[in-house]
Amino acid sequence: MIAAVDHVQLAAPAGSEPALRTYYVDVLGMTELPKPPFLAARGGCWFQAGPVQLHLGIEADFRPAKKAHPGLRVTDIETLAERLEALGAQVQWDADLPGHRRFYSYDPAGNRLEFLEPVDG
């Protein structure tokens, strides 16, 4: 039986690791995880915040997905949105999910990320 999501894998173009590290570590506050040596040779990088892991793998003919995305539950969504905007990231608010505040943004490779926070009431 499925017990939990272990990680979400996103793709990225070759050579994008420095920009991804800046975004996921410095902007989102995640921690970079060391990849096993065999996998590290393939490029890419892994990040974690609490139990959430995002793996960015290098794809030769990379094209960011237009709709597919991880949904990341956050706290203090307003502050996060302000932080992303202050650092030059696009923030697109969406009010279509009842019981939640949410917005979409994009990492340096163009991967769509959903940030959502449940609202009381």
Tens-place pLDDT, residues 19-60: 999 999 999 999 999 999 999 999 999 999 999 999 999 999
9-28 average pLDDT score: 96
The CA distance from 87 to 23, in Å, is: 9
Going by pLDDT thresholds of 50, 70 and 90, the confidence category of residue 121 is low
Query: What does the domain layout of the chain look like in residue ranges?
Result: 8-118
Q: Which residue has the higher pLDDT, 117 or 65?
A: 117
Give bridge partners of residue 12 from the DSSP assignment: 58
51-79 average pLDDT score: 95
Is the pTM above the cut of 0.85? yes
Sheet of strand 71-73: strand arrangement: 71-73, 112-118, 100-106, 92-94
- The CATH class, in words, for 8-118 is alpha beta
Burial class of residue 44, CB neighbours in 10 A (0-12, 13-18, 19+):
buried
Closest by CA to 73, choosing from 103, 93, 109, is 103
What is the per-residue pLDDT for 32? 98
